[in-house]
Structure 1
Amino acid sequence: MTGARNKRLAALTALLRRHSLTRQDELVLALREAGHEVTQATVSRDLDQLGAIKIRRGGETRYALPDQIDTARSDQRRLRTLFAEWVRAAEPAANLVVLKTPPGSAHLVGVALDSAPPSAVVGTISGDDTLFIACRSPAEAAALAAEWQSWLGS
C-alpha cells in the first residue's frame, strides 16, 4: 500500500469510529474535507478492505468496523433485555423520548443508555420512574420511540 492510501484508510477508520455515517457519499465528503481526494468507488473498495459493513443500531443503519459489530450487537441485546424488563412505555415528545419505568428503576435504563448510546441520542436525564432521552431531531426521537416500544414485554 502507498503512504497516501495508508493515510486515507487510517482517516476512514477514524471516521467510522467517531461518527455514525450511513452512506458512502457522506464518507466521500468527510474524507475530502480531511484532505483526501476520493471517489465513491475508492471508498467502496476501502470499506471492503477494512471489512466494514452496515449494521442497524438505534433505529438507523450505519457503517461499522468488524471490532465494533459484536459490541454493537451485545449492547443492543442488553438494552432489549433491560427494556423488556423495566420499561413500561416509550413515547416521543418533540426531540425527546420519554420512558416510563416502575418507581426507582429509571436510572437502571439511563445508565445502560449512557454506556452505549444510540447515535441519535445526545443525552439522558433520569428521575425516579421517568427517563428523558434527548435526540438530535424529532424524527430520530420518533424512530427510537417506535423501535423501543416494540421491545417492551418481548
Structure 2
Amino acid sequence: MLGTLCPIRPTGTTRPGGVSGMPRARHTVCVTRAAREGARAASGWGMLASVKFLVLWKLDLSRVSPEVAHAVGRMPDYGRRLHREGKVLARYHVVGAHGGAWIYEVSSHEELERLLGQAPVFNVSTYTIHALADME
C-alpha cells in the first residue's frame, strides 16, 4: 500500500456540506516519498502532468444515521461532477461492501486530498489509497 488517509485529530465541528452533528475527522493523504519518486521516474521526466490514484473508500457503518444516508445519496452527483471535470476516470461499487473504488487523475497528492475532503461521505468513511503507474 503506497498511501492511506491518516487521521490527524477530530474536531467538534463539521465542514459546510458535511454531515451535521457528526464530529469532523481531519485527515491527510500519506503518500510515501518512494511512491512520489516512482511516479516521477515512470513518467520519464522530472515533473508529472498528472498522477493516477486508486482510492478504495468504505463507509463506517457504526456512524450510520439519517444524515449519513443523505450524504451517501449525494455521492453519485459528486462523482459525476468529478468525472465531467476529468478528475475521476472511473467509479466502481465494491460488491458486498458499503463503499467504492474510484480512479482519480490529478496533478498532485494535495489535489487528491482536497477532492477527497470535499466528498459528502469524507467524515464517515475510511480510505485506502494506491498510487498507480502506467505499464506501457
User: What TM-score results when the alignment is normalised by the length of structure 1?
Assistant: 0.29
Structure with higher strand content? 2
Structure whose residues are more often helix by fraction: 1
Larger-gyration structure (1/2): 1
Q: Using CA pairs below 8 Å that are at least 6 residues apart, which structure has the higher relative contact order?
A: 2
